[in-house]
Structure 1
Amino acid sequence: MGTVASPHFVIFPFMSHGHTIPLLHLATLLRQRFIAVTVFTTPANAPSIRDFLQDVSISIIELPFPKGVLGIPSGVENTEKLPSMSYFYQFASATKLMKPLFEQALSVLQHPPTCIISDAFLGWTQESAEKFGIPRYFFFGMSIFATTLYQLLGIERPHAETTSPDEPFTFSSFPWLKLTRNDFEPPFGDLQPKGLAVDFMLEQGISFAKSRGMITNSLYKLEPRFADYFNQHLGPKSWCVGPLCLAKQPITTDNNKHETWRKWLNNKLTEKQPVLYVAFGTQAEVSAEQIQEIAKGLELSNTYFIWVTRQKVLDHLAGFEDRVKNRALIVKEWVDQSEVLRHKSIKGFLSHCGWNSVLESICAKVPILALPFMAEQHINARMVTEEIGVGLRIMPRNGSVRGFVEAEEVEKMARELMEGERGEGVRNKVKELGENAEEAVKEGGSSWSTLGLLIDDACAGKL
């Protein structure tokens, strides 16, 4: 009898911070189950991946990023470095040129791969997996709620009857949800969607259908109706193995370099001042006028807040830092968001509702003040406020979810979240869901068990 080779999982994240981190957490979880893991990336992304993993037993293979791609400046290997997000689909399509090198690297791996887990935007890896006769699972960094609604929009087309982008419609399977075309990222909410984004997603859709399954960064208890519906009516099979951010060991040391914000928050804790954490991710492009209005609202709200942002945002806010210095801290360097959210003084999160941020907030048991900008963030904001009830929403005055948000609304809702009755309600709900998340990833929990079943499935699926 020959010995059965131990499993070896190949992980290929998309070159974008929010897409990469969850898959590195997954790599860590797989290592804990004694599975060999190899991560593929590009030279410019490799140092931060090594730094993040700090696990020398995980192999990292670097493939050069394609050169001379139209609209992508030389040396740009990550979406954060793109001159504008309008180049996103050019960048994503350019990754296809890495296919021959990826396959060459797979062919010389000493330990043949059991499966490939790659980002949904790297659909071309499906063909590579088929060539090697191994299953491929794709990682879609969205909630099942958002994934389901985006798929159903294309299948059922309930928006076809609407006469304006803000006219509500419902889905036959989820009649309690009121959505508008503006909840979906353009051009997907259009009546006849077309263009680069649509072509790209149709191409990925073909590879989804051929794949072995979808890995979802969520827990079953967070969105059971949607998880069941997806697996019964849409597919391919979804495996809820999250929240993956809980794979990270909390940092206990107090003497590392981000001391300014920690000291400041410790002081607020001593003073018994609840703090609102403000952060809008790294990708959203927000107009100067909108940033000024948000800042004005925070200033008027009289709440204590910590705002993690970039210098180019502050360039639009002359004098703001000085005016709020007695009750706010503006942080311009990278911080560990999970760590900030877990600080005992943080009582709310003004967020763009990127899915990673939503999960980190739930895991830290901090309610969300939703202010979405792009991608599926508007759908996540609906989920957070209307479906799971862990947050409140800042709404534009003109009745459109994509309208301009005024300072008075920011002020009113910041106060409501931090001091109001509705804030108390969502605080209780997020505490309950945060406990569910902790249970899910513990040994014997739903996500823990699902990961075990996924490993079995991958090992059985190798042809």
Structure 2
Amino acid sequence: MGSASPLHVVVIPYLAQGHTAPLIDLSKLLARRGIKVTIITTPANSQNILSRVSRTPEISLSIIPFPRVEGLPEGVENTADIPSVDLFLPFVVATKKLKEPFENILRDMFKAGCPPICIISDFFLSWTIDTCRSFNIPRVVSHGMGVLPQVISKAAFSHAPQILASLPSDVIQFPELTIPFQLHRADFFDFHRYTDPNDPLSKVVMEAGKADMESWGVVVNSFEELESEDIAALESFYGNDAKAWCVGPLLLCDQIEDDEGANEPKKENQTSYPYIEWLDKQDGPDTVLYVSFGTQARLSNMQMDEIALGLEMAMHPFIWVVKSQTWLAPEGWEERVKRRGLIMRTWVEQRRILAHPKVGGFLSHCGWNSVLESLSMGVPMLAWPMGAEQPFNAKVAERLGAGMRILEVVGEGTGTIGSEIICDKVKELMCGAEGRKARERAQELKRMTRQAVKKGGSSDRTLNELIECLAHRRTDM
């Protein structure tokens, strides 16, 4: 193979917003280094991706049909559109059927003399490991998680009997690891399902885990200054001397990186939104609480009522992104809070909100993307984990000094959290001593994130090293 041919990378994200966004950002960073990037997606997901890469000619999309499977409504091609958690498994079954059309695209790339130097695949697309072997292409896996949360998640399966036999408040210890905070049984959401051989979800997780460990390498949306102490532990779970490459925070690919104090996205992204205009009108910096629990969390109507009343009692301006289609606010509530509260029931550009100088706190489910966005914008968090590895993310944010938890132990088995607790925690975050310290620390971490991604920073160097390793591998073939 001639080494003069252009470098080419194929990216195939899982069809979930939180998994796709970081890989779009990574694609942009690769494109800025002159690498041709092909993103594989389905028709319903293509428009969102195109809207974010249209100014980057090095990035192209290859669109393959979303397979039809029994039980999954037609038109559901993203986890955000799944009407019930019971349909997650049929959705996974559908994504497995993407293999054949994906391999047809790869064959066409080889015929055209433009084979990829690697395939960057989401963790949940376990079938890509077989494809990569068939085509002799390195599989670089992406989890959408930080280093330490990945380490804890992987180690948990070796300690399944201990975890399953514990009560929610029991402390869980992994003697072979140094974990800088306490873990509790409640932190391990749905762990009984992941380890039950009779549960179909367990099979999905086990298949993905096996493919993960056999991957050529893992790309991590984090940075060395944040998690360098845990990189070796993560790499120890992989075979073939696979490396973990920390190249984040990827969301900063669209930031003005040479201005350490800049908080605003680039000028071409300055679309006017009603919620930004609302923020502009608020009094003073750091006064508004942003509330959002991501696209996957599903809260009961009772819990939504308690959040609404807690926000009202706290008396702080807020923007609350409400995804529920069934919740109706308590009678008279919207009228009482209308001067200081904004309810958004449609998509919002979360990065723009967190970057706004009026926003001084983030009540969040602590998905890893949200944690990085909050830290990168210098906004402290009030952590309310609701699934997956989110309890570990919450404890990472707290350990960094940039976050507080809604409860000391919150996780699987936690019931409805009352309005009084929510009110008190919001007040502490927005105007208490602990909140002020967290805000100062968040600003320090914001500067660190920008140092990592700027030219010559740790993440910039690591991405260059990853490309160089892959390019050398191609030359040696």
TM-score range, shorter chain: over 0.9
Preserved CA contact (<8 Å) 2:364 2:384: yes
Letter in 2 for 1:47: Q
- Which piece of structure 1 moves more, 391-400 or 13-22? 391-400
Deviation readout 1:381-428 (Å, 9 max, x if unpaired): 12212x222101112899977232111110000000011111111112
| Structure-1 separation of matches of 2:336 and 2:42 | 43
Partner of 1:431: 443
Name the Cα RMSD after superposition: 2.3
C-alpha deviation, 1:224, in angstroms: 2.1
Partner of 1:413: 425
C-alpha deviation, 1:140, in angstroms: 0.7
CA spacing shift, 1:286–1:424, aligned 2, 3 Å: same
The residue matched to 1:177 in structure 2 has which SS? Answer: coil
Partner of 2:199: 195
The residue matched to 1:6 in structure 2 has which SS? Answer: coil
| Structure-2 separation of matches of 1:398 and 1:361 | 20
Preserved CA contact (<8 Å) 2:291 2:362: yes
Partner of 2:260: none
C-alpha deviation, 1:228, in angstroms: 2.9
Preserved CA contact (<8 Å) 1:294 1:407: yes
The residue matched to 2:44 in structure 1 has which SS? Answer: coil
Partner of 1:261: 275
Q: Report matched runs for 1:49-448 at 5 Å.
A: 49-54=49-54, 55-67=56-68, 69-109=69-109, 110=112, 111-157=114-160, 159-160=162-163, 162-172=165-175, 173-174=177-178, 176-188=180-192, 195-232=199-236, 236-249=242-255, 250-252=265-267, 256-258=271-273, 260-269=274-283, 271=284, 274-310=287-323, 312=325, 314-385=327-398, 387-395=399-407, 402-448=414-460
C-alpha deviation, 1:156, in angstroms: 3.9
Deviation readout 1:143-202 (Å, 9 max, x if unpaired): 111111011111244835854232112221226532122201203588757512221111
Partner of 1:25: 25
Deviation readout 1:343-388 (Å, 9 max, x if unpaired): 1111100111111111000000000001111222122112212x22
Letter in 1 for 2:214: K
| Structure-2 separation of matches of 1:355 and 1:8 | 28
Q: Percent identity?
A: 39
Preserved CA contact (<8 Å) 1:9 1:36: yes
CA spacing shift, 1:158–1:426, aligned 2, 3 Å: farther
C-alpha deviation, 1:318, in angstroms: 4.0
C-alpha deviation, 1:223, in angstroms: 1.9
- Structure 2 residue runs of 5 or longer lacking an equivalent are 256-264
Preserved CA contact (<8 Å) 2:9 2:116: yes
C-alpha deviation, 1:231, in angstroms: 2.3
Preserved CA contact (<8 Å) 2:385 2:410: no
The residue matched to 1:138 in structure 2 has which SS? Answer: strand
| Structure-2 separation of matches of 1:219 and 1:158 | 33
Preserved CA contact (<8 Å) 1:278 1:308: yes
| Structure-2 separation of matches of 1:373 and 1:398 | 8
- Which piece of structure 1 moves more, 325-334 or 236-245? 325-334
| Structure-1 separation of matches of 2:220 and 2:406 | 28
Aligned residue pair count: 459
- Structure 1 residue runs of 5 or longer lacking an equivalent are none
TM-score (normalizing by structure 1)? 0.93
Partner of 2:471: 459
